[in-house]
Every structure is written in structure tokens, then in C-alpha cells.
Amino acid sequence: MMLLSPVQRQHASDMVKTGTQSQSDIAFIQARHRPSPAPRSMPGRKVATTSVMDRVDASYNPAWVEAEENDLNAMKWAHPQTLWAVAATAIYAFDMSRFVTLTPPTALEAVSVVVVYIGLYMSRLQEVKDMEKHYQVSFYASVGWTFYAAASLVHALAYSPDPVVAKEPAEALHSFAGIVYLGSCLYFYSYHWGRQVRHVLEGRFRPLFAAGLASLTFVHGLTVGHILRMLDDPKWYETILKIYPKQWQWIADTRLAELYLTALALFLVILHLRGVLTGTRNAVWVFLGTVIVPTAALFYETVKLDAGWMAVGMDGPKHW
């Protein structure tokens, strides 16, 4: 589910330390040439106006405090990603209100979402080849996760009163997308956990980032469990719907949230790299925007709809 931010923030801080930032990471927010602003207070200085977040940055990673701050006006917003990002954000805001009112998603929303995220990722794709290796790994894995989220959304709606496609093609699509998702997880986690091991051996291990990677692994593991259940027993999902009739709505809303939050996490990391929203400030917005708010909304739905991840622990008729 949500998604890239803890690991990618680690990459960002590494690049700040080494000064090895690619000039074409994402042209969408490439900074225009202008005089550099004054650097933030150094950790050794005693400045009365130093914020709590600055002190956290100084104690955890002084490079964040030394980084120069830019503002949003320094960014190149005249880019196709802007239009797609605005559309995705509008849908997400609509979904948050819909989650609270327990209004189910529709086929029209699902189709609109698929179009928007195809446009968003295609507008980024041409620049990926110029990124550092770790960004390429994260981006390509996010493409796989996004493809699965869209396919799972269509599959969930196939069991709703307003389907996008019939059940049979939805089942085939979900099975294929599930394989893509599993491959994306293997690709992403083999690289990033290997990176953590390398950092331990090099004396650069950061427990907080490892904890963030572990939490992301756990969240993705829930979806892995869902996929494995469906691949193992074709009748499992239909059986779950008989026990939890609103499970389709909860899954569809979860996938809608995943689509936006994966893209948002990447955008916030780019802001960190461009010096617009750095260090702990970036982490706070990532945590609030991609974890706390959507998790609270989905937890509310879990209680009100009597549906959720508890279904992953249930056996289907194959094992009765």
C-alpha cells in the first residue's frame, strides 16, 4: 500500500551528503536558476528561533539542516505531470469524502482513475533512465504496484452492482496483475533490503529507515497474502463476499488510496531533493498524507462496513 517514502527519503539524504543529484531526476519540478537562499541554521549554532523540526534534523542527519531551502515558486510547473497530478489529487479528495460517507465507488470513477494514472506515469517514464539506480528500482516497482492496484480495483467492482467488466475477464486480469505485483515486490525488496545489509557492513546503517522499510514490507505483505489466497483457491474471494458482503467496496477503496499515495510519496521525495520541503518537514507530510489520514479513513470503513484485511486469514472451500 503506501509506499515509497521511507526508503526514498534515505536515498535523498544520501544524495544531499554526497552531492550526487541527477539534473534530470524529474523535470516536472526542476528548479529555475535564481540566487540561492541563505542556508538554514547549522546544528552547532544556538539560535533561539530554531524549530523543533530543525533540532530533530540536526540530531538525526546534520546534512538536512545544512541543505538550502527553496520555495514552490522555484519549481517548473509547466509540465504535463502538473495536469495529471491535479486530476489525481482531486479524485483523492473526493475519495476521502466518499470514504467517510461510506459511498461505494462507481465504474465511471474507476475508468477515470485508470486514465489519470496512465497519463501520470507515462509523463514520468521518459526521464527514469536518467535517474540513479535506486530511484529506477523504486519507480519501476511502483509501476508494477500501480498496475496491480488498478487491476484489483476493476476486479473488486466486478462483484459490485456497477461493474467495469464481467467477472471472468476480471479474474484473469487480477491473476496476471497479481504475478506482476509479486515480481515487483521481489525486485524492490531484494534490492532495498540488500542495501540495508550493505549499510550495516559499511557502518552506515540507519535504524529509523530500516523500520520504515519493515513497515512498508508488512503493508505490502498483506496484499501478497490476498493475492496468494486468490491464486491458491479460485473460490476463496466469492466465499469471503458471502461472509463480508461489503468486502468488494473496502478493497476497491483501498486500491484507490494506494494509487494516489504511491504517486504522492514519490512527489514528496522529489520536493526533498529540490530543497523545497526537506528533512523532518518532508517526513511529517509523508507520514500524515500517505499513512495517518488514509489509514484512519480505511479503518473507519473497516468498522462500519464490517470488512477488511481479517479475510486474509480465512480459508476458502479448497481447504474445507
* CA 249/CA 245 separation, integer angstroms: 9
- Whether the per-residue pLDDT at 56 is higher than 60: the answer is no
Helix (H, G, I), strand (E, B) or coil at 31: strand
* CA 252/CA 250 separation, integer angstroms: 5
CA–CA distance from 119 to each of 84, 85, 244, 262 (Å)?
Answer: 6, 9, 34, 15
Q: What is the pTM of this model?
A: 0.76
Mean pLDDT highest for which of 6-15, 143-152, 204-213, 272-281?
143-152
- Whether the per-residue pLDDT at 34 is higher than 60: the answer is no
Which band of pLDDT confidence, cut at 50, 70 and 90, is reported for residue 288? low
| Three cell numbers, residue 248 | 468488494
| Three cell numbers, residue 281 | 518537514
Return the axis-axis angle of helices 247-273 and 293-305, rounded to nearest 10°.
Answer: 180
- Whether the per-residue pLDDT at 160 is higher than 60: the answer is yes
CA–CA distance from 23 to each of 130, 137, 244, 255 (Å)?
Answer: 8, 18, 50, 33
Of residues 185, 184, 189, the one with CA closest to residue 210: 189
Backbone angles phi, psi at 281, to 5 degrees: -60, -45
- Whether the per-residue pLDDT at 51 is higher than 70: the answer is no
- The mean pLDDT value for 7-26 works out to 47
pLDDT (0 to 100) of residue 65: 58
- Whether the per-residue pLDDT at 190 is higher than 90: the answer is yes
Contact 4, 292 (CB under 8 A): no
- The mean pLDDT value for 168-189 works out to 97
Of residues 238, 251, 235, the one with CA closest to residue 310: 251
Of residues 201, 178, 202, 198, the one with CA closest to residue 190: 198
| Three cell numbers, residue 311 | 479475510
| Three cell numbers, residue 113 | 482513475
CA dihedral 251, 252, 253, 255 (to 10 degrees): 80
HEC string of 263-293?
Answer: HHHHHHHHHHHCCCCCHHHHHHHHHHHHHHH
* CA 49/CA 72 separation, integer angstroms: 23
Lowest mean pLDDT among 33-42, 106-115, 213-222: 33-42
